[in-house]
Structure 1
Amino acid sequence: MPRASGPLAEALARRTVLLDGGLSNQLAAQGCDLSGGLWTGRVLAERPDQVEAAHTAYARAGAEVLITASYQIGPGHPRAADLLHRSVALAARAAEAADHEVWVAASVGPYGAVLADGSEYRGRYGLSVRELAAFHRPRVEALLAAGPDVLALETVPDPDEAQALLTVLGETDAPAWLSYTVAEGRTRSGAPLAEAFALAAAYPQVIAVGVNCCDPVEVLPALEAAAATTRTPLLAYPNDGSVWEAATATWRTPGTRPGWPTAAWRRTGARLIGGCCRIGPDRIAALAAGAR
């Protein structure tokens, strides 16, 4: 079956669409080396077959959207354009081989992801909105040239970076979703969620807003804040509740696993639901089974 032929926004108007899970954990499970600053980008550069295999694993689990391995590829990389194009092509190949319709979402990670020091979980890099827009613009242009179905403006830690990404998006006619990473009821930089989600209202290209790479317990309050400020479909793809320790490049796992009240998320308006770091194909398959 070819990859999804209709716009993702049209599907969201009718039903919930299932996202994939964490790319890094699936690549690690496949035996890939993710050490170094490029993280999944290292595998994209060195073992593209493994990236395609990871996408395929999620498609077989029932994922209807595959997020590309472009999260940490910054414009300063000497092969940036080639790798960004490759990331979309690999996801598209996996989508085309699936037995159901699958969309490809091109990941546009935050500036902090390229720094590889955990600062995407802090934000406030000391750069202006204009400087952040200048950083993101060539990445967005290269990804769009590869023909994804949607841009995933994801793991955004603060409204300044969201505004920069939206400014670049506004120069195109591409559809995109905007997803913040949050903690304690605010963005990671400490900004109010209502302020953060309200930014998207001025950009008709935004087809969904929500949260990702956060503790599942943070999801429902964040979705409620988003629902109060926008009529746009919502999205949620949290991690397993673990905390990233940048100094040791390891995850600190919670003593208990938080629940995933996906029915409550849907009632609040979530139409894109999946997982982020440390959520694998088994959890996506369970979500797919529950949606049937």
Structure 2
Amino acid sequence: MNFRQAVKQPLILDGAMATELEKRGVDTNSELWSARALLTDPNAVYAVHYSYFAAGADVAITNTYQANVPAFEKIGLTAAASKALIAKAVQVAQQARTDYLVASDNARDLYVAGSVGPYGAYLADGSEYTGAYQLDRKAYQVFHYPRIAQLVASGVDVLAIETQPNFAEIQAVVALLQEEFPQQTAWVSLSIKDAQTLCDGTPLAEVVTYLNQQPQVVALGVNCTALTNVTAALQTLQPLTDKPLLVYPNSGEEYDPSDKTWHMQKNTPQFSELVPKWQATGAQLIGGCCRTTPGDIEQISQILR
């Protein structure tokens, strides 16, 4: 079934890419972050996708969060070579899906979502957690167009417009879809300051009111936030929308953008404790973001199935 139909039932999203690449010996310590592996070790990217399907994920999110043409051009690649790497990211996810289905003799529908990170991710200064940047609508669209065009051309099932902290950027990207890719579905996942507010200070009620009016947006929610923030965010979102809600938070660790390190917090609950609460508060698509693992996705799968 197509993704617009699929979101009417519970779906399990995958987990972190960079964490699993690092376990495989791939260096992600650069401005390209995990996207560097598309250059150095695409087989490792394939292996991570495969591991999440094997853990029970229904949706693989491509390794393109930080894979945008300007970022690749900064390290000396041509625009054509940059787009080829974005296409490669989709191909390895699709191949992992095909190979898993063959090996497991599994009949369930599996999907590939094309990750579209915010402009703040390109800045590589932690501003996807603040939204503290400002471009005009056209500039946002010029930045996002090449990656989105390549993801769509490569056949993703849905676009994951994710970790979005800036309302003006969200509006620019959705308008770009309307103008250039009117048949393409997307989900929009927000980067939040608190349970009521987008990182740039916009009330979530204002953001959701806008997204409710966008037929190409088939689901909305939050990602890349602490596990303990999710229930309150869902309590804000649920009364505001009839669209399916999605959540894919970080593990119990918190990120310090000043030194680009993660720190474990004490007494953090597990996915197994929280997923039933999220379901009860309307979450339909559930997975993990930074520092989560196939083990976390397996916990989610055991609950949802």
- The two structures have a TM-score, normalised by structure 1, of 0.94
1:240 aligns with 2:248: no
1:11 aligns with 2:14: no
| CA-to-aligned-CA distance 1:135-178 (integer Å, 9 cap, x gap) | 11121111111111010000001211111111112121101100
Following the alignment from structure 2 to structure 1, what is the Cα–Cα distance between the partners of residues 247 and 92?
24
Query: Which amino acid counterpart does residue 241 of structure 2 have in structure 1?
Result: T
1:175 aligns with 2:185: yes
Following the alignment from structure 1 to structure 2, what is the Cα–Cα distance between the partners of residues 160 and 253?
33
Pairing of 1:1-292 with structure 2 (within 5 A):
6-13=1-8, 15-76=9-70, 77=72, 78=77, 79-99=81-101, 100=106, 101-171=109-179, 172=181, 173-185=183-195, 186-260=197-271, 261-292=274-305
Following the alignment from structure 2 to structure 1, what is the Cα–Cα distance between the partners of residues 276 and 173?
30
Runs of 4+ in 1 over 6 A off after TM superposition: none
Following the alignment from structure 2 to structure 1, what is the Cα–Cα distance between the partners of residues 124 and 191?
16
- The two structures have a TM-score, normalised by structure 2, of 0.90
8 Å CA contact retained: 1:8, 1:149 = yes
State the Cα distance separating 1:82 from its structure 2 match.
0.8
Superposed CA RMSD in Å reads 1.4
Structure 1: gaps of 5 or more residues: 1-5
| Percent sequence identity over aligned pairs | 38
Q: How many residues align?
A: 286
Higher normalized helix content (fraction of residues): 2
| CA-to-aligned-CA distance 1:214-251 (integer Å, 9 cap, x gap) | 01122122222222222110000000143322232211
8 Å CA contact retained: 1:234, 1:271 = yes
Following the alignment from structure 1 to structure 2, what is the Cα–Cα distance between the partners of residues 206 and 268?
20
8 Å CA contact retained: 1:158, 1:196 = no
State the Cα distance separating 1:48 from its structure 2 match.
0.3
8 Å CA contact retained: 1:214, 1:241 = no
Query: Which amino acid counterpart does residue 61 of structure 1 have in structure 2?
Result: A
Structure 2: gaps of 5 or more residues: none
State the Cα distance separating 1:259 from its structure 2 match.
4.4
Following the alignment from structure 1 to structure 2, what is the Cα–Cα distance between the partners of residues 183 and 218?
10
8 Å CA contact retained: 1:70, 1:83 = no
